Amino acid sequence: MSTPQKTATRWQLALAFLVGLFVVASIASFSIAARRVSPVVDPDYYNHGLNYGAAQAANPGRDWTITPHLEAGALVVAVKDRTGAPVVGGKLLLTAPNLPVLPLAEGDPGLYRAPRPAAAGGQLRGTLSITRGSASASRPVVLID
């Protein structure tokens, strides 16, 4: 049977261990934070936030719709502006993890095509991004065969 003194010593050791662990974790956290700078500490961070709406208002592509679908082994993407007119002459790219960037060529006005890239599990996840001049738009995409 444990004596009261041994039990008290175990609790003191456990408490000292937890306090020591906290101190070591805090020091490690502070040193990592000092070496890796986040965009949050960017000197112009608040200025970027204040002018975000103005920058978005100046982008005519913010109202474009990007509609992807699969068609006979090809990825087909229709891009239209706010009025429903096709967006002609843009540069459309598909960026997906573990795959090279895939450019899509414009065939019919506002209709961009590329061979469907092979993806693990038959599911393609990525981002479609289109630029035309200073206008740009993007949208995440998940396509399943």
**Considering the domain boundaries, does residue 48 fall inside one?**
no
Does residue 87 share a domain with residue 137? yes
Average confidence (pLDDT) over 106-130: 86
Tokens 């070591």 — which residue?
24
Residues 32 and 66 in one domain: no
Residue 44 domain flag: no
Closest to 76 in 3D by CA, of 143, 11, 13: 143
Single out the residue of 69, 141, 49, 144 nearest to residue 112, CA to CA: 69
Domain span at 103: 60-144
As a whole number of angstroms, the distance between CA 111 and CA 92 comes to 10
Does residue 43 sit within a domain?
A: no
**Residue-wise pLDDT tens digits, 65-110:** 999 988 888 889 999 998 999 999 999 999 988 888 999 999 999 9
Same domain, 80 and 129: yes
pLDDT value, residue 39: 62
Angle at the Cα of 76 from the Cα atoms of 86 and 117, rounded to 5 degrees: 145
CB atoms within 10 A of CB 79: 25
Q: Is residue 52 part of a domain?
A: no
Within-domain flag for 128: yes
Q: Are 15 and 69 members of one domain? A: no
Q: How far apart are CA 24 and CA 19, in angstroms?
A: 9
Q: Which helix (H) or strand (E) holds 145?
A: none
Report the distance separating Cα 59 and Cα 82, nearest Å. Answer: 12
pTM (global) more than 0.85: no
DSSP conformation letters of 1-19:
---HHHHHHHHHHHHHHHH
Answer yes or no: do 32 and 84 share one domain.
no
Question: Has residue 10 been placed in a domain?
Answer: yes
| Tokens at 45, concatenated | 């961070």
Going by pLDDT thresholds of 50, 70 and 90, the confidence category of residue 112 is very high
| Same domain, yes or no: 67 and 109 | yes
Q: Are residues 92 and 140 in the same domain?
A: yes
Domain count, the chain: 2
